[in-house]
């Protein structure tokens, strides 16, 4: 599940994203999973948010590739939710902004996946 909260009053608008990840499969735990966060057009990951994410619960490593942030999570345990969050900063205003997708998938079995969309909800102008 992805939740978002926009701060529209700053000179550089921000978007907080919260992730609640829950494994509900048949095994007691998962393999390593990847949380793939696509950036909205015109947005970048806040540097402090990146360093916090690298130290977050069950995070093995974090990579930035073009407009994606890949979070490698060591494992998920059945029915125990894990929560992470990031801050995005708008560097370039973009009109008609399309939603971006957050995907989570099993590192060894990428067909085991789920995804959700998020968007930026500040009024333009």
Spatial distance between the Cα atoms of 21 and 23, rounded to a whole number of angstroms? 7
**Is 124 among the domain residues?**
no
109 found inside a domain: yes
71 within some domain: yes
pTM: 0.89
Q: Is residue 125 part of a domain?
A: no
The confidence band for 125, taking pLDDT boundaries of 50, 70 and 90, is very low
Local confidence band at 23 (pLDDT 50, 70, 90 cut-offs): confident
Looking at the structure of the chain, the number of domains it has is: 1
Contacting residues for 103 by C-beta, under 8 A, at least 6 apart: 35, 36, 38, 113, 114, 115
Question: Between these two residues, 99 and 110, which has the higher pLDDT value?
Answer: 99
* 112 domain-assigned: yes
Of the chain, the percentage scoring pLDDT greater than 70 comes to 97
> Does residue 47 lie within any of the structural domains?
yes
Tell which wins on pLDDT, 37 or 2.
37
pLDDT at 101: 95
At 64, which CATH number?
2.60.40.690
**In which domain, by residue range, is 66 found?**
2-118
- Segment 76-104 mean pLDDT: 91
């Amino acid at each position: 599940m992805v939740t978002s909260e926009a701060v529209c009053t700053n000179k550089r608008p921000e978007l907080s994203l919260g992730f609640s990840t829950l494994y509900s499969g048949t095994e007691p735990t998962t393999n390593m999973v990847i949380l793939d966060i696509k950036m909205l057009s015109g947005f970048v990951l806040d540097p402090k948010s990146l360093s916090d994410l690298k130290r977050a619960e069950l995070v093995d490593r974090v990579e930035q590739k073009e407009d994606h942030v890949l979070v490698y999570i060591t494992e998920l345990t059945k029915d125990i939710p894990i929560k992470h969050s990031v801050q995005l900063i708008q560097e370039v205003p973009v009109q008609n902004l399309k939603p971006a997708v957050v995907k989570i998938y099993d590192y060894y079995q990428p067909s085991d996946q789920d995804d959700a969309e998020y968007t930026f909800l500040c009024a333009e102008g």
